Amino acid sequence: MELTIERGSLLKSLGHVQSVVERRNTIPILSNVLIEAADGSVSFTATDLDLAIVDTVDADVKQSGATTVPAHTLHDIVRKLPDGAQVAISLDADGAKVKLSAGRSKFTLACLPRDDFPVMSEGDMPFRFDLGAADLKRLIDKTRFAISTEETRYYLNGIYLHAAETDGVQMLRAVATDGHRLARVELPLPEGAAGIPGVIVPRKTVSELRKLIDENDEVITIALSDTKIRFSFRNAIVTSKLIDGTFPDYDRVIPSGNDKSLEVDTKLFADAVDRVSTISTDKSRAVKMELDTDRLTLSATSPENGTATEEISASYGSGELTIGFNSRYMLDIADEIEGDVARFQFADAAAPTLVLDSADEGALYVLMPMRV
């Protein structure tokens, strides 16, 4: 194997895959990235056995071949090389060492044989459909904040992707919840996605995907089975196992009869919540909302610091109501609302509250109040 590649594209490509590699590994080969060179391009593969990413980039390949080298070391080296450098990579004859040189810098890296590198078996993926990068980004961004980090409820540690019907229209839905709040985003079901099984995409896969989307304005092909999902970008392929669990029947916690409706300016609201919550010292940072005709008063109390209140104008007419929330939860949701107006629908101080986005009908958030 022998190739030359420009430092910038090498760095970008390694950047796409190296974060899959865990910092500590008991299986040495999992610390390595697989390099495969052939026909004018080189591809890099990294895996943690649950998730694999392959990124392919153009290169001047003099001799095709493949090997594996420590991923983080390689990434660190390339990161420190000067901008614009041409990087030459070659595998020595007995396959034990990789030489890397750029200008006057020379490195020799120990390598492990490519045959030891675990290949994720994809199996049969009966479903396949396309999704625009912007759509996938929307599904992820508007739900990922609600993914649970509590490992005992592993089935909540991801985004639940599935087909469902809203008002007679078939939709592709993404849902995440941590048991305190829930986010649900949908879009019309893409062609080919009819009948897909509901799948839970793990948190790590979600964040790796999100990195790839940022740089790709393109169409992504998604293929899936009961146990695996694959996202094919122009230059990269992400293959991931799915969380083996049952996502809870979330529909029943989405309230339908909440009749007290509040509309506020999203930005005014978020800023005010942020300011008021400054006063509270504990982790939950409770903020109380007091509603009266066309008026919303936000307040927070801390036995140590004192109190804060802020009144903002709002459109409301359903009688007085006082309800408390974790301010961080409110801010997370406000961050994802695109429209100028955020719409709240309350039942009472102890029941789930609905939050809607005036600019995105397909997005819906449920928030559980706090007793303060």
Partner 1 sequence: MSLRLLPENIVNQIAAGEVVERPASVVKELVENAIDAGARRIDVIMTGGGRSLIAVTDDGRGMTGDELKLCVERHATSKLDDDDLLNIKHLGFRGEALPSIASVSRLTIGSRKSDADGMLADDAWELAVTAGQKSNLRPASLPAGTRIEVRDLFFATPARLKFLKAERTEFGHAIDAVRRLAMAHPDIGFSVTDGERTRLRVREGSADLFEARRARLIDIIGRDFGENSIAIDAGRDGYKLTGYAGLPTFSRGNAQYQYMFVNGRPVRDRVLQGAIRGAYSDLLAGNRHPIVALFLDLDPLSVDVNVHPAKAEVRFEDSGRVRGLIVSAIKHAFAEAGLRTATTASQAALGSARPGGYAGQGQLSQMSRNRPVYSQHAGGYGTPGMRETTLQSYAPLAQGNTEGYAAEPRARMNENPGEIEDAAAINYPLGAARGQLHETYVISQTADGIVIVDQHAAHERLVYERVKQALLENGVARQILLLPEVVELDPGHADRLVERVDQLAELGLVLEAFGDGAVVVREVPALLGETNVIGLVRDLADELAELDQSLGLRERLEEVCSTMACHGSVRAGRALTGDEMNALLREMEATPNAGQCSHGRPTFVELKLHDIEKLFGRR
Q: Which of 47, 266, 326, 345 binds partner 1 (CB under 8 A)?
A: 326
Q: From CA 239, how far away is CA 258, in angstroms rounded?
A: 41
Scanning 15-23, 39-47, 132-140, 148-156 for contacts with partner 1 by CB under 8 A, the matching segment is 148-156
Q: From CA 117, how far away is CA 36, in angstroms rounded?
A: 12
Q: From CA 347, how far away is CA 319, in angstroms rounded?
A: 11
Taking CB under 8 A as the rule, does residue 371 contact partner 1? Answer: yes
- Convert 310-328 to b/e letters by CB count within 10 Å (16 or more is b): beeebebeeeebebbbbbb
Sequence-separated (6 or more) residues with CB below 8 Å from residue 102: 7, 81, 82, 85, 86, 87, 88
Tokens for 183, please give them: 């986010």
Taking CB under 8 A as the rule, does residue 290 contact partner 1? Answer: no
Nearer to partner 1, 115 or 151 (CB): 151
Taking CB under 8 A as the rule, does residue 256 contact partner 1? Answer: no
Q: Which of 253, 275, 295, 317 binds partner 1 (CB under 8 A)?
A: 253
Taking CB under 8 A as the rule, does residue 257 contact partner 1? Answer: no
Taking CB under 8 A as the rule, does residue 372 contact partner 1? Answer: yes
Q: From CA 371, how far away is CA 231, in angstroms rounded?
A: 42
Query: Residue 195: phi, psi to the nearest 5?
Result: 80, 10
Q: Which of 152, 167, 214, 306 binds partner 1 (CB under 8 A)?
A: 152
Q: From CA 368, how far away is CA 53, in angstroms rounded?
A: 37
Q: Which of 33, 161, 333, 370 binds partner 1 (CB under 8 A)?
A: 370
Scanning 27-35, 71-79, 180-188, 237-245 for contacts with partner 1 by CB under 8 A, the matching segment is 180-188
Taking CB under 8 A as the rule, does residue 37 contact partner 1? Answer: no
* Minimum distance from residue 306 beta carbon to partner 1 (Å): 12
Site for partner 1, rule CB under 8 A: 148-152, 177-182, 248, 253, 281-284, 286, 303-304, 324, 326, 350, 352, 366-372
